[in-house]
Amino acid sequence: MSKTLYHKYPYFFNMLFVLILLSVIRILDMFAWAPESYPDIAKIILISRSFEFLSFLALLFLMLYSYLWAIKKKYTALLIVLIIVFALFGPVLIRLLTAWLEITFWRADIVEPFTLDLIKKYAPGCMLVILFLSATFYLTHLKLLFDKQRETAHKAETLAKDMQLKMLRYQINPHFLFNVLNSIHALIDEDTENAKKLVVEMSEYYRYTLNKQQQTISIEKEVESITKYLEIQKIRFEEKFAYEISIDQNLSAVLIPSFIIHLLIENAVKFGRKSNEQKLVIRLSVKSFDDLLVIKVSNTGKLVKSAPQNENNNDGTGSGIENIKSRLALFYDDNYSFSLTEEDNMVVAAIEIKNISTK
């Protein structure tokens, strides 16, 4: 249970531990310098430092709330200002609150008069405690940030490996391969030129996709692979299949997660054929608007839900959309959106990615 609480409130517990440690050190320091002849000196030190600890604890909550707010709003400059403000004015607040606790719950006769000399006397030690607490907060923030990045990298690596396995399963998918081979067999006698072309396109496509396993790829390279895939489908289905590709030239070198567009194209072909008895038209559009990258894959037909993941899926695309969303979330955090809609007898899958540099 304690471990769960710590993971839930790491900032508080780390700062609390440092505060306890520093309070113990301050008590020991006072014992070392206190006059032995002073009556009840040990009791006075322990009680007064206990009230001081409670004052620091109240300040800790105020610091924690303020710092977390600044971190959440991503105001780095404000965080620095808050640290300076607490370091400068914190000692005054601590001394006032400690004096009030001593007067209210103990003895008023031992409380020193609140003067500038008193502040000068207590300020260095209090400022040091506040700076240590601020440093603890920031180091905790850096550690949590590092842990999050490491966890994200681990998830990305795991997802990438899973994606590679799905890619390989797709790339050597016997269903797709047998269909292409059957098309070649049918074309050998009827249309020798197209049969040869299909063999070349298929060999180049497999050579390309089997050698490309990196996590990111340029849009230009991704489109090259897609074009080969679409050419194979065009030769197979002849006049029943057509495709259009429109890519802004300035986007060729932009890196995106590999196979993101390809999976959209694959789904468009698969479900477009299922929901459309007429000619299947696939359109790919990649445009940019300022720093917004917009990728659209459209197909004639109706919007069809993919098969559940636990069902047999010959084309291996049942979880393609979810995989795309997961990879986009890992690569772009909240700077992306994905939509799948039906517009004017066309199914449109759209990806929008913010803060993309095309230079």
pLDDT at position 317 is 42
Whether 53 is in a domain gets the answer yes
∠ CA 28-94-34, nearest 5°, is 30
Contact 172/207 with Cβ under 8 angstroms? no
Q: Does residue 164 belong to any structural domain of this protein? A: no
pTM (predicted TM-score): 0.52
Q: How many CB atoms lie within 10 A of CB 220?
A: 13
Instruction: Output the pLDDT for position 174.
Output: 59
Q: What is the mean pLDDT of residues 153-170?
A: 64
- Asked, for residue 114, whether it belongs to a domain, the answer is yes
How far is 62 from 134, CA to CA, in rounded Å? 12
pLDDT over threshold 90, residue 299: yes
CA 212, 218, 222, 223 dihedral sign is negative
Same domain, 321 and 253: yes
* Residue for token pair 């209090």: 126
What pLDDT does 200 receive?
81
Closest by CA position to 327, among listed 216, 247, 224, 171: 216
Asked if residue 159 belongs to a domain, the reply is no
Verify that 90 and 203 share a domain, yes or no. Answer: no
**pLDDT for residue 49:** 85
Supply φ then ψ for residue 337, to 5 degrees: -145, 150
pLDDT in tens, 257-267: 887 898 899 88
Residues 188 and 141 in one domain: no
* CATH number assigned to the domain comprising residue 189: 3.30.565.10
Quote the DSSP letter at residue 340: E
Q: Note whether residue 166 is domain-resident.
A: no
Supply the pLDDT for residue 108. 75
Q: Which domain holds residue 270?
A: 172-353
Task: Say whether pLDDT at 145 is over 80.
Answer: yes
Residues 205 and 340 in one domain: yes
Q: Is the pLDDT of residue 273 over 60?
A: yes
User: Distance between CA atoms of 7 and 148, rounded to whole angstroms?
Assistant: 13
Pairing, β 292-300 against β 280-289: antiparallel
Give the residue among 147, 141, 170 at the shortest CA–CA distance from 70: 141
Whether 229 and 126 map to the same domain: the answer is no
Cα distances from 19 to residues 14, 47, 61, 336, in angstroms, run 9, 16, 12, 42
Specify the pLDDT at position 116.
79
Q: Token pair for residue 200?
A: 């070349």
Q: Is residue 167 part of a domain?
A: no
> For residue 72, which amino acid is it?
K
pLDDT confidence band for 311 (50 / 70 / 90): very low
Q: What is the number of domains present in the chain?
A: 2
What is the predicted pLDDT for the residue at 251? 92
Give CA–CA dist 264/116, Å, rounded: 71
Q: What is d(CA 98, CA 143) in angstroms, rounded to the nearest whole number?
A: 33
- Cα 350-351-352 angle, rounded to 5 deg: 120
- pLDDT, residue 338, reads 94
pLDDT tens for 184-199 read 877 787 778 878 888 8
What's the rounded mean pLDDT across residues 140-144?
91
Judged against a pLDDT cut of 80, whether residue 300 lies above it is answered with: yes
Specify the pLDDT at position 234: 87
pLDDT-derived band of residue 305, with 50, 70 and 90 as boundaries? low
The domain boundary, picked from 116, 150, 184, lies at 150
Would you state the pLDDT for residue 163?
A: 63
86 and 208 within one domain: no
Helix (H, G, I), strand (E, B) or coil at 108: coil
- Taking only the tens place, the pLDDT of each residue in 50-85 is 988 999 999 999 999 999 999 888 888 888 999 999
Sheet holding 346-353, edge to edge: 241-247, 280-289, 292-300, 346-353, 336-343
Instruction: Please indicate, yes or no, whether residues 53 and 138 belong to a single structural domain of this protein.
Output: yes
pLDDT of the residue at 358:
67
Domain stop point among 150, 180, 195:
150
Largest Cα–Cα distance in the chain? 115
What confidence tens digit (pLDDT) does each residue in 13-23 have?
A: 999 999 999 99
Query: Does 157 reside within a domain?
Result: no
57 belongs to a structural domain: yes
Q: Among 118, 150, 182, identify where a domain stops.
A: 150
Q: Which two tokens stand for residue 184?
A: 């070649």
